[in-house]
Structure 1
């Protein structure tokens, strides 16, 4: 069977595929919405705190706008004071828009050794952002389930990019009939191909359904893209998302 992957251009750290660019600097595909351009204005417009059981921050969002150490532009830091000491769930932010199937691009920069954050698909399934670790809880992992097929992290002080196609879990008459699935590129290289995701990890403080049957009780509620605060200087910019309809389709691209 022919794959839908077509390499056409390599330019400025990004790679153009049949389904748009992947890699650092990838531009939004047609129909995508930019959710974070690195400015406080875009943060305020498109994001809010996730008010889970451990939530202890106060609006407006306290994630600071910082100067991009590489390009001199703007970026947003995940170093919210309410999450100091690794209190994930205390000051995580989530898009105001909620999603089922989608294509997303997320760029992140880790300033210090051991810098820790996370990208949550549908505010449920964590794709790890963690300097200095490689494994099922390390960089690029579908947390606690799948390690990336290769190590593509650019390292401290450099921008990195996740390009993601996500398909939400499917239900029939309220019963789960198909697990969520995802394909992910890391810095332009495919590290997960149409992988099923089994559950939510980390308990009720981690996201939607985290406290439901130990994270196995997935529901059909749509959820936003969430970024995790753990009291570290992890910067984000160039986040864009397009809603998709993947009924009967793979996430591979």
Structure 2
């Protein structure tokens, strides 16, 4: 087993902090018609959905609206007039969308019509280049020497792409270039953060000019979104955006009072215990001489330029109380608060107590508002960066890795999970209580930081690649009454008994179960050409009177989209049955969801592949 450690930066509420995304209030780009776009070219149309196999090179659509797609043909390839522009113009923006790209296709989303995030069928690519999905495409200069015409491209950190014709999710936070009063650029454009299928693939990447095939050669404070339409078919849905704006707030005329001692409540910070007092530039915990036994009170004038709802976030080691205009804004057990403020001056007071030495003194207060980046009301030294916790990962080398852990699944904590990583880069997490697949993913294997760092109390493990969440339901069910819904779980203490696993010749685990009279083995390995996971379920000792279902997949929707190919959860992932197999799968309804099942009335082995 190879363990590796990577030191990562601490996430605070800042330009790239996790809390900032939560304050975005997005607006949907209407896709009931094409009125949101400027003179939409004829190749851009609306549909109700896509019904494609992972092999399809063109789009098969259903009637309706809500899905925007490029009805691409060779006649428009690399020709002007096929790209789509929004009427919306943006500067700083947060953009969130789903996209679907057929096999072999190519497109792109251009921020301000100038800076491209590449959309490409990059399935199975090991090392991304600037042409691959999620990459920031290169700039281009025909006057440069051959081999150097393309420059300043930024490949995605990792390939987080899914299979062709699966819906994928993209989030972009973009900062527009800045210009002075004379129109001179004083700050370049920047991709603050780009996340593909839950994996961060870019952070704080500066772009010094328009990328290749941009609609405009100049740069500007605002511009439209452009979707490339002349390179290949592509579809979009759930396009949401938040126009981000700076706001002004300042904290001035700050006075502080310092009390040295080990205090347990704010009522103890009385005048007779005052150690020192004076003026401060901002909140500054370093004004205390004793970092482990202190009380501090900061009082000043908070001014905001516009009336609005403002959010406050306090970061501290210790205890705080925040008052705004004499009213309690945050109690000691509160870190976040929101308050409507009028434009102008407000009185802000923050009290801080720390009476322990096992953490450094730390105090910071941020103010923000929806669709704006938060501002600090403290000096940087008051909220120091700490030595980051290392990312501890398990890497797969020459044979499969098998790790037991807890894992989150659909909001619940699964406590009996085995994760298996294969040298081919095909990984899965398996609930041994239910013989249920929880998650599948490609690439790097497992983040075990919360298991192996310091005390490791949480015992959580996390996939390190873009993962697909599966139903986690038991793969085999004895059916007593076909009119009743299939059970979501089985009694693993008395009815469905885990008997351990053995290793195959390739050292992949084969899980064994006793389910009443049934003997079950469940084996998984990389599918042919590493397209996904090949799963083999062997059932023995079925009685003649029994009906047993193998639950191949479960989801809100299941559609047959090709010969022996099924799309699960509206093109979330695919199931493929063997082409020459006489096994018949059927789609049934159970508890309001769709289930893809195979009925078995005799001992058998069923094989199928999960493709994502």
TM-score (norm 1): 0.72
User: Quick one: structure 1 residues 78 and 201, their matched pair in 2 at CA, closer, same or farther if it must change by over 3 Å?
Assistant: same
- State how 1:140-179 maps to structure 2 within 5 Å: 140-144=134-138, 145-172=153-180, 173-179=182-188
**Partner of residue 207, structure 1:** 215
The change in CA–CA distance for 1:92 and 1:177 in structure 2 (over 3 A counts) is same
Separation in 2, partners of 1:31, 1:250: 13
Mapping 1:1-253, distance limit 5 Å: 2-4=10-12, 18-20=19-21, 31-37=25-31, 39=32, 41=33, 44-49=34-39, 61-66=42-47, 67-69=49-51, 74-80=66-72, 84-87=76-79, 89-111=80-102, 113-132=103-122, 134-144=128-138, 145-172=153-180, 173-182=182-191, 183-203=193-213, 206-209=214-217, 218-230=218-230, 232-246=232-246
Alpha-carbon distance in structure 1 between the residues aligned to 2:244 and 2:10: 21
Cα offset for 1:64? Answer: 2.0
TM-aligned CA distance change 1:3 to 1:30, over 3 Å: closer
CA deviations 1:185-232 (Å, max 9, x no partner) are 0011111001101221325xx2122xxxxxxxx432411111110252
Give the SS at the match of 1:219. Answer: coil
TM-superposed deviation, 1:102: 0.7
Unaligned runs of 5+ residues in structure 1 are: 6-16, 22-28, 50-58, 210-217
- Give, in whole Å, the separation in 2 of the partners of 1:82 and 1:141: 25
* Aligned-pair CA distance for 1:128: 0.3
**CA gap 1:60/1:94 in 2 versus in 1, 3 angstroms:** closer
Judging by fraction of residues, say which structure has more strand.
Answer: 2
Match of 1:8 in 2: none
Contact 1:78/1:228 (8 A) holds in 2: no
- What is the CA–CA distance in structure 2 between the aligned matches of 1:60 and 1:221, rounded to whole Å? 26
Distance 1:229 1:117 in 2: 7
Q: C-alpha offsets along residues 85-136 of structure 1, whole Å, 9 cap, x if unaligned?
A: 233x42211110101101001211012x221110000110010011136301
Deviation at 1:177, TM superposition (A): 1.3
Q: Deviations over 1:35-90 (max 9, x none)?
A: 144x4x2xx221124xxxxxxxxx56541223232797742212255962233x42
| Mean CA deviation greater in 171-180 or 74-83 | 74-83
Q: 1:60 to 1:142 in 2, by over 3 A?
A: closer
Shift of 1:240: 0.8
Higher RCO (C-alpha under 8 Å, 6+ residues apart): 1
Moved over 6 A (4+): 70-73, 247-251
- Looking at structure 2, the residues matched to 186 and 118 of structure 1 have their Cα atoms a distance apart, in angstroms, of 14
Q: Deviations over 1:14-41 (max 9, x none)?
A: xxx53447xxxxxxx753221144x4x2
Quick one: distance in 1 between partners of 2:98 and 2:73? 22
Question: Structure 2 CA distance, aligned partners of 1:115 and 1:250?
Answer: 36
CA radius of gyration, larger in: 2
Q: Is the 8 A contact 1:83 1:90 kept in 2?
A: no
